[in-house]
A and B are shown apart, each in its own frame.
Chain A
């Protein structure tokens, strides 16, 4: 039985064969499971942007992009399987965007050993910002600790700069992902004198009655949420049920998509979420996506996600990857780059307003530049708010920087610990 299965598996594997395209991009997506509602739009956006480049420009620098999709189901074991199966696809995968903090933790040592860069945009291990230790990991333009600081700064601004004595609750996914901001929030609590209340929610997050009961009893002034997938919808519904004031409820950027607020109906009006890129589909690039991708029947998935928050984020991730490829091509003077050259491209990436405007995305994200010391960008973010009437998230603040003083210290500590544990000699 085993023998037969294995022979068949081997035959199947051989049959897939390498597709001979020069730039291989792997999309480790999840279109099934409890996180699919969030995984689908991100993956659609990520793929559609590369399809657009193939269709409109004939690839990047004359090289076609070979898109390989692999379903992880947000499951670390499947994520490892996907990574091993796809890292040699075509001429070798250039970059991984796992969209899961758990899978990121798995892949950091593996990808570093294989010399393949990881881009964990706004998730993953925050201290990877220190490129001297994490050579192959990038988390620009913003990370979790930036997000925690953004939320607190927003609350500060709303309350005239004084939040001492306030009670702020963190409702978080009880996993590496949700635990990331705790240390930052604790330090911020010390600095600003607010009281922090921690409320973990277990995977997948459908059961949150007791957490919200506690919120109703202890009446925190603000709730910050680190949720993903079905947990977001349930939390927002529960907040509506206990009539928690929505404008005092702030989600991280992964808890602020249309899927999360729509089930709660009008009650969710006024819910806030952080973001590190702009929203809506009022950009020239969307006209191109509609003409070259969606109308041509080449859209990933059902093609109905264009312009949603997470679609934009996926597209933004693809755009940053494409720009890094361009940078790498210029640096090394070859169009068919490899993973090592891709890493150089990512490390020397500079995003300016002119560049984004030229791509058809004027004012879409903050300007930033990556360097060996700083793989995490400058930590700019903004706050968006759900408008039920209009059915969309709207930006209500400008981009502002996170509390670099606290965060850079934490990054230095955590990355030094990682370097010591793994015997890495930090250096640029």
Chain B
């Protein structure tokens, strides 16, 4: 009825190729942005920020990054945790080494450092594919965690091997450290999320993205039509590493504030982000958000319902949480192998025809 193209005339190529061609979608997108920037900061408290919004936003960036590599370019990576650690430690070294520079630039630079490391570990992708590449990136995961645990320089030789984020401000408002107001941490991350999503979206529908997808769909055919696999694959690793690095830096500096590499950036993290991408939908920016929301919010929701609402014992609830989340993942993958993004696409198709499906 209201969700259709009819009457929404496009008079230029720019209009025609915009991200949200349907008017209703476009307004919904603006409404979400306005709500996220202008409403949410006024109503959130510590709990909502630290338990719900920060992890969701930060994992969404990581999922976008991994989605570029796995979903768009088809290069399987199990090194996300390690690459997030690179971002976190780069950010820490920059924060403590150049305290006079704004944290905003440190986080972007941390993304850059991660991009470089990611390219380095992406080199084998030129020779090996599929599961074998997954094993190579798995090696990156273990090597990087070992490195940050082993070499004292990375954690400034602190006795415990932990890194702690000192307080840093943006326009005089603290965004890291214990004195951070909930809205400041939230807005800081939100800016990065929105920027990442817009950049990623525009990269993926431009020439770079088309090259990645050509490599993903059939690398030999792509090479024949003139796609340089070296450039395409390594640029995917670089862009992916950039986003993952930013998420790692935010994860450490804004969200947790103190990080221990083995615990925060272990192999579990790699799997978690990979599951987000798979459940959300490979090759979809919206899917990255949906996957992150699913895996971050569902456990919190279940915990609050079972323990807070029903008053069940915490251990029973924790075990049930594993069972429920696990089985939902299986159900989703069987019912919709292309993830939540595909569900959304199907829903949109149905909505276009509603209420006259014939």
Contacts and interface: CB of A to CB of B under 8 A. Distances in A.
Contacts of A85: 47, 51, 304
A9 B290 contact: no
B301 A8 contact: yes
B177 A31 contact: no
Contacts of A15: 308-309
A109 B266 contact: no
A188 B149 CA distance: 24
Contacts of A423: 167
A84 B260 contact: no
Interface string B287-312: 00110011001101101110111000
Contacts of A298: none
A174 B261 CA distance: 10
Interface residues of A, number: 53
Contacts of B298: 5
A419 to B, nearest CB: 12
- Residue of B260, B305, B317 most packed against chain A (CB within 10 A): B260
Interface string A176-192: 10011011000000000
Contact of B160 (A29, A70, A84, A180): A180
B178 interface: yes
Contact of A9 (B161, B178, B301): B301
Given A15-B309, A84-B51, A179-B160, A29 B314 contact: yes
Interface in B103-150: 149
A80 interface: yes
B337 interface: no
B290 A1 contact: yes
Contact of A175 (B52, B161, B178): B161
B185 interface: no
B187 interface: no
A112 interface: yes
Contacts of A88: 47
A423 B179 CA distance: 12
Contacts of B161: 175-176, 179
A421 B318 contact: no
A422 interface: yes
Contacts of A75: 263
B82 to A, nearest CB: 14
Nearest to A422: B166
A112 B314 CA distance: 27
Interface in A232-287: none
A102 interface: yes
B262 A202 contact: yes
Interface string B318-334: 11001000000000000
Contacts of A12: 301, 304-305, 308-309
A354 interface: no
B262 A174 contact: yes
- Residue of B293, B298, B308 most packed against chain A (CB within 10 A): B308
Interface string A379-422: 00000000000000000000000000000000000100000011
Given A12-B301, A85-B47, A6 B52 contact: yes
A80 B257 CA distance: 10
A202 B159 CA distance: 17
A113 B179 contact: yes
Interface in B245-298: 255-260, 262-264, 266, 289-290, 293-294, 297-298
A69 interface: yes
A367 interface: no
Q: Is the interface of A mostly helix, strand, loop or mixed?
A: helix
Nearest to A33: B318
Nearest to B35: A3
A421 B164 CA distance: 9
B257 A110 contact: yes
Contact of A69 (B46, B166, B178, B314): B314
A297 to B, nearest CB: 14
B304 to A, nearest CB: 4
A321 to B, nearest CB: 19
Contact of A76 (B51, B159, B260): B260
A200 B146 CA distance: 11
A73 interface: yes
Interface in A64-116: 69-71, 73, 75-77, 80-81, 84-85, 87-88, 101-102, 105-106, 108-110, 112-113
Contacts of B266: 203
- Residue of B315, B317, B319 most packed against chain A (CB within 10 A): B315
Contacts of A81: 50-51, 300
B156 to A, nearest CB: 9
A9 B294 CA distance: 12
Given A16-B304, A71-B317, A176 B293 contact: no
B71 interface: no
B88 interface: no
Interface string B41-53: 0000011001110
12 contacts: A2-B297, A12-B304, A12-B308, A15-B308, A31-B315, A71-B318, A77-B264, A88-B47, A102-B260, A175-B260, A175-B263, A421-B164
Interface of B: 46-47, 50-52, 55-56, 149, 159-162, 164, 166-167, 177-179, 255-260, 262-264, 266, 289-290, 293-294, 297-298, 300-301, 303-305, 307-309, 313-315, 317-319, 322, 340
The 3 closest A-B pairs by CB, nearest first: A31-B315, A16-B308, A109-B178
Interface of A: 1-2, 5-6, 8-9, 12-13, 15-16, 29, 31-32, 36, 40, 69-71, 73, 75-77, 80-81, 84-85, 87-88, 101-102, 105-106, 108-110, 112-113, 125, 174-176, 179-180, 182-183, 200, 202-203, 301, 414, 421-423
Given A8-B301, A71-B318, A202-B262, 14 more contacts: A2-B290, A9-B52, A9-B300, A16-B304, A16-B309, A36-B315, A73-B318, A77-B256, A81-B300, A85-B304, A102-B162, A106-B258, A110-B257, A179-B160
